[in-house]
Amino acid sequence: MTETALTAAPAATDALAVRACVLREPGRPPEVESVWLDAPGPGEVLVRVAAAGVCHSDVHLADGALGEGRWPAVLGHEGAGVVTALGEGVTGVDEGDHVVFCLVASCGVCEACRSGRRTLCAPAGAEGVAGNLRTGARRLRAGDGSPLQHGFTIACFAEHTVVSAASIIPIPRDIPLWQAALLGCGVITGFGAVTHAAGVRVGERVAVIGCGGVGLQVIAAARLAGAATIVAVDRRAEKLEHALRRGATHAVDASGHDAVGEIHRLTGGGADHAFEVVGAAPTIRLAWDALRPGGTAVVVGLAPRGVEVSLPAIEFLSEKSIVGSYYGTGDPVAALPGLIELVHAGRLELADMVSHLIDLEGVPDAMDRLRRGEGDRSVIVIDRSLAGATAAEGDRP
């Protein structure tokens, strides 16, 4: 990978030069560049990034599937690090605190936030799509001084990042940061879909369609919620094997002849809850078809813009429903302490979700693995000692 030379002096004297993975345009692999990062402004923090997970949403952004105009940008939203400087007026966090990034920098005062639905915060969503911090500011510039967007308001595929103080959640220091990185997107998303969006109860029957990084978290959450039957559905045999190790009770090959019939047979008439964790029309329809009367399909997968789904409307007679779930539904900041308790108690495994430890230059390959549906999470180890990564970089056993 080539690194762009820093050809212009930074405008602000306290700007940091950092290595970052930059998306220039869709269809072109992101490359590592030296970029300028300005000091945090009011309500913002500077974070030294230890590790970051490569999530399918990064691939969608990089492929242009989330809309035009979202580049050039520093990628990355699932990650963990250490706070190294506070902007004016920041309270509740100190330099040296370990933190995970929170995808929704909720404002706390809009109607959605005040009703406890922080993932639907309108100001946070608008600035996120615009590639800004929640304050509307940008602190990133390319080496030549031209502006860069903060991908998903986090931009953590970088040695340091400046984020809104609402984009970080402090965590205890005893969780290695290369594992904690997963908490901020995949774990919150999967567990929230089960506990908040679906409300899975003891003894219920669940189907999980798509057993990648988030799908495996859905399975782990369904097991902890006491689901009696958890049917894992995927096209890849190795993903189904991993799903069975994570607590799925049955596995169905989605490329088989009659996946719907098989799910109905295994659940004794259909699932109470079917989770779609792919983001595609055929699998959303599969989740619907997998339900028993009165069941609910929860769409967790992020579908590219323009995807439409068709459902047989007669089946609303059987009181089936379909709902969306974004980033765990509800309040991610409130959800995290409980998830950390599960990690401490040994009931939520993070390390076994990681199939590859990579460096910043490995992002394009990690994205290709996601496009092909291979492997679990790839985690970028940006600072080895800070991340607490003991395994060698490269493929994990």
Which lies closer to Zn ion via its Cβ, residue 237 or residue 307? 307
Within 1-30, the residues that bind Zn ion by CB under 5 A are none
Does residue 74 touch Zn ion according to CB under 5 A? Answer: no
Give me the residue label for tokens 């999980």. Answer: 208
Which lies closer to Zn ion via its Cβ, residue 114 or residue 201? 114
Within 269-328, the residues that bind Zn ion by CB under 5 A are none
Give the three-class secondary structure for 239.
helix
Give the three-class secondary structure for 362.
helix
What's the closest the beta carbon of residue 348 comes to Zn ion, in angstroms? Answer: 18
Does residue 363 touch Zn ion according to CB under 5 A? Answer: no
Does residue 110 touch Zn ion according to CB under 5 A? Answer: yes
Which lies closer to Zn ion via its Cβ, residue 162 or residue 214? 214
Ordered alpha helix ranges (H), the chain: 56-62, 111-114, 122-130, 177-180, 186-192, 213-224, 237-245, 259-266, 281-289, 332-344, 363-372, 384-387
Does residue 168 touch Zn ion according to CB under 5 A? Answer: no
Which lies closer to Zn ion via its Cβ, residue 216 or residue 251? 216
Does residue 57 touch Zn ion according to CB under 5 A? Answer: yes
Distances (CA, A) of 112 to 90, 117, 127, 157, 356: 23, 5, 16, 29, 37
Stretch that binds Zn ion, among 115-123, 163-171, 176-184, 307-315 (CB under 5 A): 115-123
Question: Which tokens is 242 given?
Answer: 């991993």
Does residue 107 touch Zn ion according to CB under 5 A? Answer: yes
What's the closest the beta carbon of residue 367 comes to Zn ion, in angstroms? Answer: 13
Give the three-class secondary structure for 355.
strand
What's the closest the beta carbon of residue 189 comes to Zn ion, in angstroms? Answer: 7
Does residue 102 touch Zn ion according to CB under 5 A? Answer: no
Give the three-class secondary structure for 371.
helix
Q: How many CA atoms does the CB half-sphere of 271 hold within 13 Å?
A: 34
Among 35, 61, 113, 243, binds Zn ion (CB under 5 A): 113
Does residue 182 touch Zn ion according to CB under 5 A? Answer: no
Does residue 169 touch Zn ion according to CB under 5 A? Answer: no
Stretch that binds Zn ion, among 25-33, 71-79, 314-322, 384-392 (CB under 5 A): 71-79
Burial 81-108 (b: 16+ CB within 10 A, else e): bbbebbbeebeebeeebbbbbbbbbbbe
Question: Which tokens is 316 given?
Answer: 């609303």
Does residue 55 touch Zn ion according to CB under 5 A? Answer: yes
Ordered alpha helix ranges (H), 166-258: 177-180, 186-192, 213-224, 237-245
Q: Give the residues lining the site for Zn ion (CB under 5 A).
A: 55, 57, 78, 106-107, 110, 113, 121, 185
